[in-house]
Structure 1
């Protein structure tokens, strides 16, 4: 397994993770002050899918020596997190493949048809990761009782959870995020706030005690693909100004709350 190296230590105890989709976005996010990256594809239209192995390798190469790790989303399709057996098999193969291509960790998740955590699929993903860092993504926001679910995730070997606290936007669920962060510290599971995060949400998220803040920091470029190129909606890129502004807001919030995120 080739990797970019261990993630940078988060500044002041709360990490900034930026979701990126390409090499340029990865470089811009690092330059803007990201501590960690999530790499995915088709973020705007689907919520994120597994990127190509070529992209994983290229981003890993671009980050090598930076101290900033790349964690790859493994999700085969849009439309929810209930997966058939063959879809779980594909994700197991993808977990192994993206780690071999240079990822430092993977971002996974699955639920059952009745809305519970899919412990069988998760066990397969964690086993395939072979000790690499595992983040459970916002599938947790579809599961009732997320605080209790943290115990299950900890026992399964999950290192980190990405969550909005079950709300459309993380800034609207501060009480839930605070409870998750408290339990996460007890279990050794990091709680990362993500989902519609805005710049003015950062102080409140830090105040809630989360261990990391996650956002895409994107802007849309206009590009007409023509009849066979996906229409005229353009495509998203990482906005370095948004990354830098979020870094500054996080640093300011950490200076005002020096014990934020400690103990995970």
Structure 2
């Protein structure tokens, strides 16, 4: 059965993932910015709920690109250690420098994870030679790659995803993510990929009109997990997986 990973950013999302029985969660904050490292309190909440799915913590110290300074490297490694010590099943990271994987960063993260799963996120889709990148990540000990098969979304890149899965040949798990909708579940399952990642979120209108932060004018509410969309995705996944 193909695994379903749900990106969640709050206690509401953790509750939905637990009740609906998703296979694992990617835990983060600020999905509207592509996701950044969640608080320790949210990590502890995710790992303390009985029956909650395994939590894989996004470790991303800021929004923007993935070319990190030495000081940011140090923050990432510290956050990885704290996430694993708190009970996370894995961490999700990414680093790119000069068009290549930031190997020193990934190596330091794998060592700090101390056996917990390491996923390389969609920074992978910026790399000009993804086949070589898979070889590099495998050699570094990375367990999984989250990819849309290119810099756009999975709906545009199904053949590329299939090719990446063939290149990986089970050495690194290829997990499809980036614009996954319920309508795309069946074609993704047909590719034979081992995992699908989705956020399944919707916007809850703001109850207050207070302006906070420089990006406030662009916001109309807060994003959170849409329980009904998760239900639809899981139903589509189970239907597509039937013989």
TM-score of the superposition, structure 2-length normalised? 0.94
Q: Deviations over 1:189-236 (max 9, x none)?
A: 111000011111111111122111111011111113503474662111
Q: CA deviation at 1:88?
A: 0.5
3-state DSSP class of the match of 2:96? coil
Match of 1:241 among 223, 228, 235: 228
Query: Is 1:134 aligned with 2:122?
Result: no
Query: Is 1:164 aligned with 2:148?
Result: yes
Q: Deviations over 1:80-130 (max 9, x none)?
A: 100011001000000001111221110001000x21111111111111111
Q: Deviations over 1:7-43 (max 9, x none)?
A: xxxxx2x100000011221111232331110000000
Q: Name the CA distance, whole Å, in 2 between partners of 1:217 and 1:184.
A: 27
CA contact (8 A) 2:18 2:51 kept: no
Match of 1:39 among 13, 16, 27: 27
Counterpart position of 1:16: 4
Counterpart position of 1:202: 185
Q: CA deviation at 1:76?
A: 0.4
Q: Name the CA distance, whole Å, in 1 between partners of 2:180 and 2:119.
A: 18
Q: Name the CA distance, whole Å, in 1 between partners of 2:51 and 2:220.
A: 36
Query: Is 1:124 aligned with 2:108?
Result: yes
CA contact (8 A) 2:28 2:35 kept: yes
CA RMSD of aligned residues (A): 1.4
3-state DSSP class of the match of 1:226? coil
CA contact (8 A) 1:43 1:49 kept: yes
Q: Name the CA distance, whole Å, in 2 between partners of 1:183 and 1:252.
A: 27
Q: Deviations over 1:225-251 (max 9, x none)?
A: 503474662111111111111001111
Counterpart position of 1:83: 68
Superposed, 1:37-186 pairs within 5 Å as 37-44=25-32, 46-62=33-49, 64-66=50-52, 68-112=53-97, 114-186=98-170
Q: CA deviation at 1:167?
A: 3.7
3-state DSSP class of the match of 2:150? coil
Unpaired runs of 5+ in structure 1?
A: 1-11, 257-264
Q: Name the CA distance, whole Å, in 1 between partners of 2:159 and 2:25.
A: 26
Q: Name the CA distance, whole Å, in 1 between partners of 2:174 and 2:235.
A: 21
Unpaired runs of 5+ in structure 2?
A: none
Aligned length: 239
Q: CA deviation at 1:186?
A: 4.0
Q: CA deviation at 1:185?
A: 2.9
